[in-house]
Structure 1
Amino acid sequence: MSHRNARLTVHGRRLLVERVRSGRPVAHVAAEMGISRPTAHKWIRRWRAEGESGLIDRSSRPRTTPHRTAAATEAQVCRLRQERKLGPARIGPVLGLPASTVHRILTRHGLNRLAFLDRPTGQPIRRYERDRPGELIHVDVKKLGRIPDGGGHKVHGRDAGRPIRGMGFDYVHSAVDDHTRLAYSEIHGDEKAATCAGFLTRAAVFRSQGITRIERVLTDNAWAYRKGLAWEKTLIEIGATGKLTRPYRPQTNGKVERFNRTLADEWAYLRPYTSNDKRTTALADFLHTYNHHRGHTALGGQPPISRVNNPAGQYT
């Protein structure tokens, strides 16, 4: 690969070829460009054999690696990682390998981070993404304890600020578009079927953001989504198909589950609120920031709204 002190970049190699093609001796051109004759001849040979593509840098990885760890040993490393969740420093002594070698093996197989694995099964988590906006919407509910007037224990301390018994809960209903990551949330006093259905109807606010149609709605196995007649009726009205996750598999609708965590970190528990109304009012500002300004790692650092205008999702 080219480095900062390299005599020849791809542009320099093209220049070398052009000068030689004009009829000048290779040795003279090499001397002018400050490179050796063997190097000049190498690039000329590559250009004659492969054309323009022959001037591009190649990988420095060797074609064969005789001293690479045996496949059987790599399989043992992967098995210990997936079954026992051990790290390189623990796996190394078990198999008689340096920790650095174990780490390279885990990286090669995509197991170097436990976050990449499904904890119960140890299998790598398969990421998926729908091809167009509105093709799949993830819906879920986040339950939060209400804040008493004057603030709770985050303002006054754990003992002095203990909420009055019976304050109840807020239920934050959220919808996240699978392709764009656009999010919409509302706060309600329950998670009954009628409430969930009303939220889904209003989630058509996505249309004002450029998502013209909701095709499928993915939820967990809560009663309101499985048995609620109001929910089924709303799905028919908006022309969408309902889809349930496998029981006890939050990874399936992981985009809204991850949004719930962001919701908690960057809104619900961002700062101590002195009343429940103040936390509720702050939700609108959070959603605007999330959709229009907050960079998303899955979108190349761009906010979700940018992908509505770039449905192909070509980010670098």
Structure 2
Amino acid sequence: MELFQLSRANDVQDAIKAGAASHTAQQGADVRFLAGGTTLLDLMKLNVERPGRVVDISRLPLNGVDALPDGGVKIGATARNADLAHHALIRDAYPVLSQALLAGASAQLRNMATTGGNLLQRTRCVYFRDNAMACNKREPGSGCAAISGFNRTQAILGVSDACIASNPSDMNVALTALEAVVHIQGTRGARSVAIDDFFLLPGTTPERETVLEPGDLITHVTLPPPAEGSRSLYSKLRDRASYEFALASAAVVVTVTGGRVSHARIALGGVGTKPWRSREAEAALVGAPPDTASFRRAAVDALAGARPQSGNGFKVELAQRCLVHALTLATSAA
């Protein structure tokens, strides 16, 4: 870990001012915001993240979970994962989010990790976390060692010739299926970004993972009201039962009306370079009967664009089976 300056923000504007104060072309923003620190501190110890200044925002009043007048919910950026998972508003109206949070990390980490930090959680690619290896995400232009190396856990959707790193989050997959909106304040004022637009595909610039600019601070996330009569569920497949990242996961929100699927939102995890919304699967489901044949057709459509690497071709079928399983359970509950 390199030396850095630590300061504490007094309010949101103070944090934004500090975040925008230093910027270099090579390293991007030289300032990092600290809330729970469950990812940032690890990466600083590995010298993957090397900020000159860390701004503590953990005491800002951004940790609320509140009902909105339209029936939706507002989730503060510093709301802890454990608190959010067990909150009555989330557990009752958005079970897919509660299940996804409880499927991630460990109880100790969930007690510290925050909503904003989880949105910005970085890949667990072993090459990204090893400074001795080539990684375009860490050092643009150096190459991607994963493409010709160990890539069993890497992405098969949204990959490019520059990067195949998978997004590690469980929470973000559920938020994508719920069509969350990320609210940001920065030097140019406040703006709202749909979560599917918040994350960027690697393309030729894998070092840029989100739409955030230097000084931008995530203040909260909003969820729209649950679709009437909908059921939601999160399914996660991994190498061991706990404290493990997904090889494939599926977040589903489904409504069945008159023996047909009338509403569907599908997101996949563990297989995409970002939380992967599958509009192809959604289109295949709407109007179809909620049966195994329909679910399998939707799953095939969801993985139609997959580009597996030498060691992760198994993820195509694994993700398909995960999605079929999640849809089966969600519609059986109905």
Q: Rg larger in 1 or in 2?
A: 1
- Normalized per residue, the structure richer in strand is 2
- Normalized per residue, the structure richer in helix is 1
Q: TM-score, normalised by structure 1?
A: 0.21
